[in-house]
Amino acid sequence: MKLLRLQLAYLYSGFPGGSVESRDAPKPWRVHHNHTKRNTVSAQREQEMAELEFEKYQNDQDGVLLLNWWAFSKRPFFKKLPDYCGNCWYTNDHKMEKVANGIIVDNTRHIQHRGQEHPSLLDRNPDQYWIFWPREAASKNVEMSTKLMDAQWDAAFNLTTSYRRDSDIPRPFGDANTMIRLVRYKNGTKSMTDEDHLDMILSRKNKPGTKYASWVVSNCNKTGGARERWDYVQDLVLAGLKLDGYGECWNNTLTEKPWMSDPEKSGLMSQYKFYLAFENSIHCNDYVSEKFWRNSLLQGSVPIVFGPHRSDVEAMAPEKSFIHSEDFRTPEELVKYLDYLDNNSTAYMEYHAWRTDEADLNVLALQPAERMTCGACQELHKLKNNKNEKRMISSVSSWWWENLHDERCIEGATIHKPTHQIM
312 falls within a domain = yes
362 falls within a domain = no
Say whether both 136 and 207 belong to one domain. Answer: no
At 22, the pLDDT band (50, 70, 90 cuts) reads very low
Say whether both 319 and 392 belong to one domain. Answer: no
Hey, which residues does 244 pair with through a beta bridge?
Answer: 214
Q: Where are the beta strands (DSSP E) in 88-139?
A: 88-91, 102-106, 129-133
Of 275, 284, 295, which Cα lies nearest the Cα of 233?
A: 275
Q: Assign residue 262 the CATH number of its domain.
A: 3.40.50.11660
12 falls within a domain = yes
Distance CA 298, CA 291 (A): 10
Q: What is the pLDDT of residues 200-229, one digit of tens each?
A: 999 999 999 999 999 999 888 777 888 999
Q: How far is CA 279 from the centre of its chain?
A: 10
Is 169 in a helix, a strand, or coil?
Answer: strand
pLDDT at 14: 34
**With 80 as the cut, is the pLDDT of residue 9 above it?**
no
403 falls within a domain = yes
Stretch among 217-221, 245-249, 395-399 having the lowest mean pLDDT: 217-221
**With 90 as the cut, is the pLDDT of residue 386 above it?**
no
49 falls within a domain = yes
Positive or negative, the CA dihedral 328, 333, 337, 338 is positive
In this prediction, residues 89-112 reach a mean pLDDT of: 85
At 135, the pLDDT band (50, 70, 90 cuts) reads confident
Of 250, 165, 178, which Cα lies nearest the Cα of 215?
A: 250
Q: What is the pLDDT of residues 340-384, one digit of tens each?
A: 999 999 999 999 999 999 999 999 888 999 999 999 999 999 998
Query: Are the C-beta atoms of residues 76 and 47 closer than 8 Å to each other?
Result: yes
Instruction: Find the distance separating the first CA and the last CA of the chain, reported in whole Å.
Output: 54
Q: How far is CA 213 from the centre of its chain?
A: 22
Q: What is the pLDDT of residues 403-416, one digit of tens each?
A: 889 889 988 888 88
In this prediction, residues 380-403 reach a mean pLDDT of: 88
**Under the phi-then-psi rule, with left for phi > 0, alpha for psi from -120 to 50, and beta for the rest, what region is 173?**
alpha
Distance CA 306, CA 348 (A): 19
Please give the backbone phi and psi of residue 210, each rounded to the nearest 5 degrees, phi first.
Answer: -105, -170
At 17, the pLDDT band (50, 70, 90 cuts) reads very low
pLDDT at 26: 55
> Of 334, 356, 378, which closes a domain?
356
> H helices then E strands: how many in the chain?
14, 14
Distance CA 195, CA 67 (A): 47
Say whether both 211 and 105 belong to one domain. Answer: no
In this prediction, residues 318-325 reach a mean pLDDT of: 98
Number of domains in the chain: 2
Q: Which domain holds residue 376?
A: 43-172+368-410
**Under the phi-then-psi rule, with left for phi > 0, alpha for psi from -120 to 50, and beta for the rest, what region is 18?**
left
Say whether both 86 and 199 belong to one domain. Answer: no
Distance CA 60, CA 86 (A): 13
Is 421 in a helix, a strand, or coil?
Answer: coil
Q: Which residue has the higher pLDDT, 216 or 148?
A: 216
At 3, the pLDDT band (50, 70, 90 cuts) reads very low
CA atoms within 13 A of residue 373's CA, in its CB half-sphere: 23
Of 134, 115, 210, 11, which Cα lies nearest the Cα of 396?
A: 134
180 falls within a domain = no
Q: What is the pLDDT of residues 159-206, one digit of tens each?
A: 999 999 999 999 999 999 999 999 999 999 999 999 999 999 999 999
Stretch among 41-45, 300-304, 348-352 having the lowest mean pLDDT: 41-45
182 falls within a domain = no
**Mean per-residue pLDDT over the chain, rounded:** 86
Say whether both 26 and 47 belong to one domain. Answer: no
Share of the chain above pLDDT 90, in %: 60
**With 50 as the cut, is the pLDDT of residue 126 above it?**
yes
Say whether both 12 and 59 belong to one domain. Answer: no
Say whether both 120 and 233 belong to one domain. Answer: no
Distance CA 107, CA 142 (A): 12
186 falls within a domain = no
pLDDT at 308: 96
Say whether both 304 and 162 belong to one domain. Answer: no
Distance CA 394, CA 107 (A): 16
Say whether both 245 and 315 belong to one domain. Answer: yes
Is 266 in a helix, a strand, or coil?
Answer: coil
Say whether both 291 and 374 belong to one domain. Answer: no
Q: Which residue has the higher pLDDT, 24 or 31?
A: 31
Query: Are the C-beta atoms of residues 80 and 91 closer than 8 Å to each other?
Result: no
Give CA angle at 416 (415, 420), nearest 5°.
160
Hey, which residues does 130 pair with through a beta bridge?
Answer: 103
**With 50 as the cut, is the pLDDT of residue 2 above it?**
no
pLDDT at 407: 86
In this prediction, residues 221-248 reach a mean pLDDT of: 92
64, 169, 312, 313, 364 from 172: Cα distances, Å: 24, 10, 11, 12, 14
Say whether both 247 and 124 belong to one domain. Answer: no
Say whether both 129 and 256 belong to one domain. Answer: no
Orientation angle between helical segments 2-13 and 224-238, nearest 10 degrees: 100
